[in-house]
Amino acid sequence: MGKKPLRDNEHYIDRLTGLIETLRGDNGCPWDKKQTSKSMALYLKEEMYELFEAIESGSPEEICEELGDVLFQVLFIARIYQETGCFSIRDVARLNCEKMISRHPHVFAGDKVDSVEQIKQRWHEIKRTEKNHAAHQSVLDSIPSRLPPLMRAYRVSERAARTGFDWDDMPEVLHQAENEWDEFKDELKQSGPEGPDEGRIAMEFGDVLFTLTNVARFAGIHPETALIDSINKFEKRFRHMEEKILNSGKTLESVSRADKEALWKKTKAAVG
């Protein structure tokens, strides 16, 4: 028997939740039935990174597919909690609707705002009055500790800056970045009886990265996005250079440093 075609007016979200219920049911899939919220959280994390890559690619088809995979993981986790009587996906949607309406009084309650910055400030003021945030002792408490380091650095600096603990302008933060770079170089020159202190060198290098995160914030860009774009650009150029060398019958290792540098300059001119 062939697959039953889906009608245009069929509710695909309900269809997907029903599918997950079947997979978790008595006659469902043994693998799906044994999954827990913790195991599914790992798969959700993987799917999120695949979605990031799809968005970077700019392909609507890939983005649509990866969004579907993320949605499946979210609905699956909600189903696990529904089975224990905690909540359903409808409770999740209801609570989120209430929260978003509460956090947008300038849209739903007639409040007046003059700028995007004022909207952001109001957002965080409202957020701190909510049940899950009111008990936090620090403005940093709500930042997930498992965020990738560069994203977490940006969030930490952003939250601290919101309290007024910040540099006045770009020249000040650039000066701080230069100072941190000088301290890192000084630490590299230090050497005790057992050689350089790798722990102190790593700490100074971390200070450089953290300060550069603030430089990005002042420039109005996100360091994570900027780094991804830079990595992608380097990888594209390196692959092009690698292909040129391999097509010439040589290996990367056999080509001299000077020849690599010359080819790299040509590659930069040819590849954006």
Q: How many domains does the chain have?
A: 3
Could you tell me the CA-to-CA distances from 81 to 105, 129, 213, 254 in Å, in that order? 31, 26, 38, 58
Domain end point (choices 181, 203, 221) = 221
Structural domain range at position 141 = 136-221
User: In this structure, is residue 125 part of a structural domain?
Assistant: no
pLDDT on residue 134: 59
Say yes or no: 84 and 22 in one domain.
yes
Say yes or no: 202 and 230 in one domain.
no
Say yes or no: 160 and 194 in one domain.
yes
Say yes or no: 237 and 201 in one domain.
no
pLDDT on residue 1: 38
User: In this structure, is residue 65 part of a structural domain?
Assistant: yes
Residue range 132-180, pLDDT digits in tens: 665 667 889 888 888 899 999 999 999 999 899 999 999 999 999 999 9
User: In this structure, is residue 120 part of a structural domain?
Assistant: no
Residue range 17-53, pLDDT digits in tens: 999 999 999 999 999 999 999 999 999 999 999 999 9
Say yes or no: 199 and 260 in one domain.
no
pLDDT on residue 190: 85
Domain end point (choices 221, 241, 262) = 221
User: In this structure, is residue 7 part of a structural domain?
Assistant: no
Say yes or no: 207 and 232 in one domain.
no
Residue 250 pLDDT > 70: yes
Say yes or no: 217 and 250 in one domain.
no
pLDDT on residue 130: 79
Could you tell me the CA-to-CA distances from 190 to 177, 198, 201 in Å, in that order? 20, 10, 9
How many other C-beta atoms lie within 10 A of the C-beta of residue 224? 19
Could you tell me the CA-to-CA distances from 20 to 35, 71, 78, 81 in Å, in that order? 12, 12, 10, 13
User: In this structure, is residue 198 part of a structural domain?
Assistant: yes
Residue range 185-205, pLDDT digits in tens: 999 988 667 777 899 999 999
Beta bridge partners of 113: none
In this structure, what CATH number is given to the domain that contains residue 82? 1.10.287.1080
Give Cβ neighbours of residue 216 (< 8 Å, ≥ 6 apart). 154, 222, 223, 226
